[in-house]
Structure 1
């Protein structure tokens, strides 16, 4: 499978002319422009490249050269080169891969799971080789030193060799109180950055976040926070937000997002539809926000709408109940919010991921299996599970049973997996090993320079 994925990457190089360095660990710390969709180089879709003529016969559109009066005709003309078919598009590459995948492999792609300990465990191996898990999230308890993280990541990648696609290796690295990566200088919180009013500062910190993530093998960063901190009693967002106005959060958030993406790391904006006006922590219980669609569109959604317009590839949806929009389920389980509003109204085409489904907002009010099935029906592409093997087993079993019963169509699963595979291919993700001893000196120099100037 690894050879097939690498072959597809080679074929797709001509499709991403705007991309710089590869997203794999062999190119650590090298900035890569965000993935862009480009037509086949030099030709419109379906167009056959011009063929060279015979013997340098420029200007004759591939026709044979005029007859030489002295030519007796005894020598045959040189054969023309065969037409070169256009390189396959990203969509074609993804469709080919999807067609070869089993249902178990497809469902596995739709899970990002947590891990145990600071080294790769037997259960992690089972999640990769038996459950075909599409990605993992590292928390504070999983990291020790940069070298320790690299060893952990490299082992996961090695175990994933026979799966259809490379792993999403993710981390919550916002800065401030949500900082997971080891060996780094202190990165300021969003509010500290926002209070300067300096968009270039947000950009510099975004570059450091992306570079640090990539250096240690992470290709997804759950940052930046696009919530507007409009409720001073908010117990979970607070200084993680760039500010209290839509403009401040939009300007700072998009600068950070673009810089993370420029490093070849997938930025994930959060927490749609907006977590800034909550008064309870969704890690513990279900927040309720009594705002209308009109109010959200005019305020909370301003940064998210701008991010969608700027081409954000991944959006995290929050566990918040908006009874004036959907009185039955929180946003992360709501078809109205995910499909009708985020995809329909805002026009988002990328990957939707839930917030952690093991948080109190879900576990205290909904069963894990039912919540996962409802979320997929609503339009989520990836279910985030902070814990590992058993929770993944529960969710995968429920989803598989739903497909077999016809409650969820395989076509619906294919829609999500297509988006996930497209994301991985566009970012040129790879399971190639990263250097075993990441040198954080360059990233720390970036952080020190940015902070000292403010």
Structure 2
């Protein structure tokens, strides 16, 4: 393989992208990008789901399109509670707050395994969960009951159980939103939140569940589009070398994959071009850029990454290191993909089955109506 071909293959592993519509086969641009290795995976939202049969057809096609020995990521935000991309006939999953209140790691692991098992048979191999944010601000418009608790210790313990359930079912978990979105007053889908806490508070509360998750071997962490002036007065966390390299990599010792939250969220998209985000992300040490909607933007990100790699041996080394982390994670945790999927009719033996519903039912006792999905702008 030529140096340029290797660079383009490495860059492809640094992109997960999305598209509109609910087809039975991947749109032509996605098929071509997967065929050529120009993207490493795809994220699906509620907008991509019509029926179970349609969804299984789509995810099966996505897996078939990828070339080489590495499967693509087929990712989803299937947290439970309000943030659910695939609903009935899947087993209802309670808000994570209900699991945190139970303070029972084994029960959390069982519910997590139900969730992961059902999305796995639908073709998903990466779930952007658990939420590791600490719910300390009742006026937070976007976290709330998505978090396990307002107690950092409870968040850490519940998240550990959640990770076990996903690993058991063969789905990669991704902790979010580093370094902690739980105490903000703004929604990063709409604007750039700012946290003014000092480092002592951050380490005691916001960072505590992430530190524990890193110690427990969480394989992937998603960044938050938030400002923490005490750590970096110039860049949001997503683009901060101090926060991602200095804090997450060096201080906490995280060796896994760092992925952005969606780069089309207004917190960052109204402040930077996609090319600027790529440049800042490379400097900060990001491994995967998540671009959930616009083809022109993910193509521009790909070309910018390639161009930066051609300009500098140092940047090529950064890109190669990120691609190596992604490939290692795929080889270590996705060795069973692509798997043969059951016929849609057979899935009903798994999706929403009585055993799964009995596992989750106790956590709905006393749970209020779920209300609106706070991430609906990405759905």
Q: Are the counterparts in 1 of residues 140 and 185 from structure 2 also a CA contact under 8 Å?
A: yes
Output the CA distance in 2 between the equivalents of 1:384 and 1:98.
Answer: 27
Partner residue, 1:252: 158
Partner residue, 1:417: 323
Gapped regions of structure 2 (runs ≥ 5): 364-379
Q: Are the counterparts in 2 of residues 212 and 440 from structure 1 also a CA contact under 8 Å?
A: no
TM-score normalized with structure 1 length: 0.75
Partner residue, 2:14: 110
Q: In the TM superposition, what is the alpha-carbon distance from 1:105 to its structure 2 partner?
A: 1.2
Q: In the TM superposition, what is the alpha-carbon distance from 1:404 to its structure 2 partner?
A: 1.8
1:291-306 → structure 2 map (5 Å cutoff): 291-306=197-212
Q: Are the counterparts in 1 of residues 62 and 74 from structure 2 also a CA contact under 8 Å?
A: no
Higher share of residues assigned helix: 2
Q: In the TM superposition, what is the alpha-carbon distance from 1:159 to its structure 2 partner?
A: 1.8
Partner residue, 1:405: 311
2:343 corresponds to 1:439: no
Partner residue, 2:373: none
Q: Are the counterparts in 2 of residues 166 and 431 from structure 1 also a CA contact under 8 Å?
A: yes
Output the CA distance in 2 between the equivalents of 1:98 and 1:195.
Answer: 55
1:278-293 → structure 2 map (5 Å cutoff): 278-293=184-199
Q: Are the counterparts in 2 of residues 132 and 163 from structure 1 also a CA contact under 8 Å?
A: no
TM-score normalized with structure 2 length: 0.89
1:10-409 → structure 2 map (5 Å cutoff): 102-119=6-23, 120-130=26-36, 132-160=38-66, 162-163=67-68, 165-182=70-87, 183-406=89-312, 409=315
Q: Are the counterparts in 2 of residues 208 and 443 from structure 1 also a CA contact under 8 Å?
A: no
Q: Are the counterparts in 2 of residues 268 and 316 from structure 1 also a CA contact under 8 Å?
A: yes
Aligned residues: 357
Aligned-residue CA RMSD in angstroms? 2.0
Q: Are the counterparts in 2 of residues 131 and 393 from structure 1 also a CA contact under 8 Å?
A: no
1:451 aligned residue (354, 357, 360):
360
Q: Are the counterparts in 2 of residues 127 and 389 from structure 1 also a CA contact under 8 Å?
A: no
Partner residue, 1:94: none
Map Cα deviations across residues 268-300 of structure 1 (whole Å, 9 max, x no partner): 010110000100000010001112333211111
Q: In the TM superposition, what is the alpha-carbon distance from 1:433 to its structure 2 partner?
A: 4.2
> Compared with structure 1, are the counterparts of its residues 266 and 259 closer, same or farther at alpha carbon in structure 2 (3 Å cutoff)?
same
Deviates more, 1:312-321 or 1:422-431: 422-431
